[in-house]
Amino acid sequence: TSRNHFEDREFEFASLRPVARSIPTLLDTHHTYTYQRYKDTGSSMINPKLLIILRCSRLVTKGTLSATYAEVTLTAAEKTNDKVLGKTEEIENSNSPSYVTPVEIDYSFTRQTYFTVTVYKVKGGSTKIVASSTFEVGSVLMRNDSTLARKVKSGGYIVVHLRKKTDLGKFRLALEGNKLVNVEGFLRKSDPFYEIHAQTGDDVFKALVYRSEYIKNDLSPIWDLATIDLDRLCSGDKHKSFYISIYDYERSGRHKLMGAVKTCVNELITHSIGENSELTLGNKLVRGRRDLGTI
């Protein structure tokens, strides 16, 4: 919170519960939140901008799945006034897709805010609804880790995670692989891409924050420059760990893990400017191979 315009005060969640049922925890580990008071008027306002982060689990579809994407609409009391807030990227051939692209929503503690998540299947230039569910922002924020999974009629779940949007700057990462292990066998080469998962608990890394493009038939790939929000990556703590995982892309969506490394922003910066600029990959699933390559 900018200290130039607001006076910051923190209250324990328990002390606010009698005031309003739907006041959320706003995703910090101590279940506190900042009460922002305008100095000039004395009126209090809590109007954060939130990020909606989406994934699905075990969706049931008819026919081949092809690619899916999720669209989020702000649901008004009058159904004719629904507003599209944004949509995610497309993910191919997965009935449990995890979307990297978040959708922003403005929220006020003084009123209930509903949004609808609709998952579409894309095939041959046409789209078809796979699943849909409506959520209330306050209800999601009240849940453990501000995450709510809702079962859909067609089968499977839509999982929504909310976090406060905070601008802590960007982290730019130029990554390349060197002599990665080939998990395709003797006749073909792997098609590597990487994902970055942020820490969500003690030695738990489940928050997907970035997914690269895949490089076809290349065990020493050079991926495009990545730009990642420091807030989502490490909450601005450059010593906080995250995982970089390398996968072999499969059109079926069943990607094969090639190797992974646990690191942090400061370690990557140190490697980028030092003589030893490589990190060694590890993977307990690749038996009989100690040398899995480096990034």
pLDDT at 195: 97
What's residue 7's pLDDT?
34
Q: Which run of H or E residues covers position 211?
A: strand 207-211
CA distance 4 to 165: 19
What does the alpha-carbon distance between residue 87 and residue 107 come to, in Å, rounded to a whole number?
18
Specify the pLDDT at position 66.
77
pLDDT for 44-53, tens place per residue? 346 789 999 9
What confidence score (pLDDT) does residue 44 get? 33
pLDDT of residue 282: 85
Taking the C-alpha atoms of residue 125 and residue 119, their distance in angstroms, rounded to an integer, is 16
Place of tokens 């008027």: 41
Task: Specify the pLDDT at position 15.
Answer: 33
Residue ranges, the chain, pLDDT below 70: 1-46, 64-65, 76-81, 284-290
Residue type present at position 118: T
Give me the pLDDT at residue 275, please. Answer: 72
Contact 280, 181 (CB under 8 A): no
Closest CA to 4 of 26, 32, 35, 36: 36
